[in-house]
């Protein structure tokens, strides 16, 4: 009977402990906020641009060749913009970050997902490095590096399968995310999502599972 109870508790917790989507605690991760939704819609290039709501160039100042474009852009098909509207792009070395209001907790494990693509007529590698940090981009928690292998209108999703665990130093800090083009091609991104799985709850599940195994012996 005790084994049945433990099994029930494991199942109940497994149902309750799911990844929490905290993307809404950031601002404009899908690039669709603001009044301008048609081509051209660029702002990363200009240090004083305000139309890309929620995003800041890193380091501060103009980027080389970056921005946000939407319906009418030559590299976005009508089929894509009908669903996702705008998307961002950056050339090699460009970077920008977005702050959330989420306060990092001990044991948090974060997972990053987004639609990505590349322009293949220059260079040999399209690559994004998505970095989570606390309070400011200099305080790195961890990064998710992903090579691009698709044309943006194909709407290929990329997801970090490993996760980025909160560090002791980051606990109590405010979570931010930075995207940097770390290959030598121009790359695009859109529909960024950040989810969180609280690690202590996972450990409870493992502990209850272990108890169940001992009960069976």
Banded model confidence at residue 99, pLDDT cuts 50, 70, 90: very high
Q: What is the mean pLDDT of residues 137-163?
A: 96
Question: First CA to last CA across the chain, in angstroms?
Answer: 14
Q: Is the CB of residue 118 less than 8 Å from the CB of residue 182?
A: no
Largest CA distance in the chain: 67
Domains contained in the chain, CATH given: 20-205 (2.60.120.260)
Please count the residues of the chain.
217
Task: Give the Cα separation of 217 and 212 in Å (integer).
Answer: 9
Helix, strand, or coil (residue 8): helix
Q: How far is CA 70 from CA 12, 17, 82, 124, 142, in A?
A: 44, 37, 10, 26, 31
Does the structure show a pLDDT above 70 at 208?
A: no
Banded model confidence at residue 120, pLDDT cuts 50, 70, 90: confident
Residue 143: phi and psi, rounded to 5, are -135, 155
Banded model confidence at residue 9, pLDDT cuts 50, 70, 90: very low
Of the spans 4-8, 68-72, 123-127, 143-147, which averages the highest pLDDT?
A: 143-147
pLDDT in tens, 19-77: 899 999 999 999 988 655 555 555 676 555 556 889 988 988 778 888 888 888 889 99
pLDDT in tens, 168-181: 999 999 999 999 99
Q: Which of 108, 112, 103 minimizes the C-alpha distance to 198?
A: 108
Q: Helix 2-16 crosses helix 199-216 at what angle (to 10 degrees)?
A: 160
Task: Give the Cα separation of 178 and 167 in Å (integer).
Answer: 17
Under 8 Å CB-to-CB from 120, ≥6 apart: which residues? Answer: 126, 151, 185
Helix, strand, or coil (residue 196): strand
Q: What sign has the CA pseudo-torsion 204, 139, 116, 148?
A: negative
Under 8 Å CB-to-CB from 55, ≥6 apart: which residues? Answer: 28, 43, 44, 88, 96, 97, 98
Task: Give the Cα separation of 48 and 101 in Å (integer).
Answer: 23
């Amino acid at each position: 009977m005790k084994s049945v109870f433990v099994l029930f508790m494991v199942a109940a917790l497994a149902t309750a402990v799911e990844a929490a989507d905290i993307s809404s605690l950031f601002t404009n991760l899908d690039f669709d906020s603001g009044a301008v939704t048609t081509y051209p819609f660029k702002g990363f290039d200009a240090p004083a641009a305000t139309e890309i709501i929620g995003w800041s160039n890193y380091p501060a100042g103009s980027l080389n060749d970056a921005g946000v474009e939407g319906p009418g852009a030559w590299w976005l098909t009508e089929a894509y913009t009908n669903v996702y509207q705008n998307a961002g792009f950056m050339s090699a070395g460009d970077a920008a970050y977005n702050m959330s209001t989420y306060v990092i907790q001990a044991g948090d494990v974060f997972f990053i997902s987004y639609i990505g693509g590349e322009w293949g007529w220059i260079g040999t590698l399209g690559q994004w490095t998505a970095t989570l940090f606390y309070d400011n981009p200099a305080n790195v928690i961890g990064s998710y590096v992903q090579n691009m292998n698709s044309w943006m209108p194909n709407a290929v999703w990329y997801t970090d399968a490993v996760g980025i665990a909160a560090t002791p130093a980051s606990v109590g800090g405010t979570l931010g995310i930075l995207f940097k083009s770390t290959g030598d091609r121009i790359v695009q991104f859109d529909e960024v999502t950040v989810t969180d799985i609280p690690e202590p709850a996972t450990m409870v599940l493992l502990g209850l599972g272990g108890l169940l195994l001992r009960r069976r012996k």
